[in-house]
């Protein structure tokens, strides 16, 4: 009998919540077939079967949080398989594990066969409570596509409406609607609570003139070299962090020291339909502007479709959040523990300003907010840091000169 145990699907993970079983007792599985979904504070990971065989027991119930090393299910290996422990083959495929934001709709039990579908298609199906086993595939290979799910949903609309009317008539006058508090939402809550109760937060606000940077960005776009604003932000942050390394650090209270990180791994907070994910641009200081542009776009796209890898979510050293496109004008962001600071960029809008020559001008101004650990840094240092960052953004030629 082979034990499938919860293993570390991310750097430093100690526990996870059983989000969903993809098999039932009696199902026959093949080696590397996903059998269980586990939710951590950053991801939902599909753990594969280490051997081919038959599922004999699902030990841990869905929704329960367990520590690394806990046996989740048992598989009776086929006689042709070599007897191995579950951990060995799983560790070999850790970097290949698909991770994605979880959904809040209870999972639909699977039948005896594994439906071919992408994680994004499965996500849509679960959001609408659709059993993929019931969706006719249009692809000759048998793969169920996003379009197949939507066609199935449209065809079922009339029946669904009738059911809703019948159910509504049996409800009380004041029905209560609930949303499950589990999965990544629960893990985020735990981490945010840890951050707020551990770190004395102070938030510093600043405004940045984006006029010249936006003009340069438009010139580059016209020349066929588009560079995102986020790429400029990351590059400017790298130079500011190099000048003020205390913000690219973590506090080690046990040993009474502040550890100044030597790498620059920038977390980019990304809002998805199912929760906040922070993919990481690793070694950002070694990437060109074009590489930063491409990397951020790739991570954002994969986060939204649920195709991030475990390596994309390894710990960052500093986190940024660009909430401006959503319309935010200000906030007091919570630090991504155990980092010492987080910076948020808010909406850019045209304002009437007075320039250095006392002339009234219209400029594109952006607010930023920076929360920092007051045990590690003081307000004056935070102001100096944002001044350095703002200077590079307001005078992008200076930023480009830093690259030479």
Mean pLDDT, the chain cut into blocks of 10 residues (404 residues total):
84 78 92 86 80 93 89 86 44 44 39 59 77 82 79 67 51 72 75 90 96 95 94 97 97 95 95 82 95 95 83 92 89 94 96 92 96 96 97 92 78
Instruction: State how far Cα 264 lies from the chain centre.
Output: 18
- Asked about 128 being catalytic, the answer comes back as no
Q: Which 3 state secondary structure label does DSSP give 212? A: helix
Q: Class for domain 199-402, per CATH?
A: alpha beta
Element (H, E) at 361: strand 360-373
Give residue 170's pLDDT.
52
Give residue 112's pLDDT.
40
* Integer angstrom CA distances of residue 163 from 28, 129, 166, 168: 35, 14, 5, 8
CA dist 20 and 107 (Å) reads: 6
CA dist 43 and 100 (Å) reads: 6
Hey, how many other C-beta atoms are within 10 angstroms of the C-beta on 147?
11
CATH of 2-170, one of 2.40.340.10, 2.40.37.10, 2.40.50.100, 3.60.40.10: 2.40.50.100
The contacts found for 59-67 with CB under 8 angstroms, 24 or more apart, are 60/18, 61/18, 62/18, 62/19, 62/20, 62/21, 62/107, 63/17, 63/18, 63/182, 64/17, 64/18, 65/15, 65/16, 65/17, 65/18, 66/6, 66/15, 66/16, 66/17, 66/18, 67/6, 67/14, 67/15
Q: Is the pTM of this model over 0.75?
A: no
206 contacts 366 by C-beta, under 8 angstroms: no
Give residue 95's pLDDT.
42
Q: From the candidates 128, 201, 374, 395, which is the catalytic residue? A: 374
Residues of the chain with CATH 2.40.50.100: 2-170
Residues of the chain with CATH 3.30.559.10: 199-402
């Amino acid at each position: 009998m082979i034990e499938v145990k919860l293993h570390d699907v991310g750097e430093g993970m100690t526990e996870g919540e059983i989000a969903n079983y993809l098999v039932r007792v009696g199902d026959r599985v093949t080696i590397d077939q996903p059998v269980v979904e586990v939710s951590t504070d950053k991801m939902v990971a599909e753990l594969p079967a280490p051997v081919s065989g038959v599922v004999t027991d699902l030990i841990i119930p869905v929704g329960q949080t367990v520590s690394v090393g806990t046996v989740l299910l048992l598989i009776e290996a086929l006689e042709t398989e070599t007897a191995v422990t579950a951990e060995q083959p799983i560790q070999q495929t850790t970097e290949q594990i698909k991770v994605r934001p979880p959904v809040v709709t209870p999972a639909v039990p699977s039948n005896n066969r594994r439906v071919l579908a992408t994680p994004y298609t499965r996500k849509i199906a679960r959001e609408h409570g659709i059993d993929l086993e019931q969706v006719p595939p249009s692809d000759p290979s048998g793969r169920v596509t996003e379009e197949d799910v939507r066609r199935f949903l449209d065809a079922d609309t009339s029946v669904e409406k009738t059911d809703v009317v019948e159910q509504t008539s049996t409800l009380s006058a004041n029905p209560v609607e609930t949303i499950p508090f589990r999965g990544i939402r629960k893990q985020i809550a735990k981490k945010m609570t840890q951050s707020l109760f551990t770190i004395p937060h102070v938030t510093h606000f600043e405004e940045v003139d984006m006029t010249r940077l936006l003009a340069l960005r438009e010139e580059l776009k016209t020349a066929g070299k588009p560079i995102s604003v986020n790429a400029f932000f990351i590059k400017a942050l790298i130079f500011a962090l190099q000048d003020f390394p205390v913000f690219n650090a973590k506090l080690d209270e046990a040993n009474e020291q502040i550890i100044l990180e030597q790498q620059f791994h920038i977390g980019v907070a990304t809002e998805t339909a199912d929760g906040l994910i922070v993919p990481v641009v690793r070694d950002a200081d070694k990437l060109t502007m074009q590489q930063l542009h491409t990397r951020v776009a790739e991570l954002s796209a994969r986060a939204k479709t649920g195709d991030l890898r475990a390596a994309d979510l390894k710990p960052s050293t500093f986190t940024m959040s660009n909430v401006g496109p959503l319309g935010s004008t200000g906030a007091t962001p919570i630090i991504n523990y155990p980092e010492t600071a987080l910076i948020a960029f808010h909406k850019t809008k045209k304002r009437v300003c007075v320039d250095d020559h006392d002339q009234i001008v219209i400029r594109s101004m952006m607010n930023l907010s920076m929360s920092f650990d007051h045990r590690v840094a003081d307000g004056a240092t935070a102001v100096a840091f944002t001044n350095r960052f703002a200077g590079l953004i307001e005078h992008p030629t200076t930023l480009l000169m830093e690259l030479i």
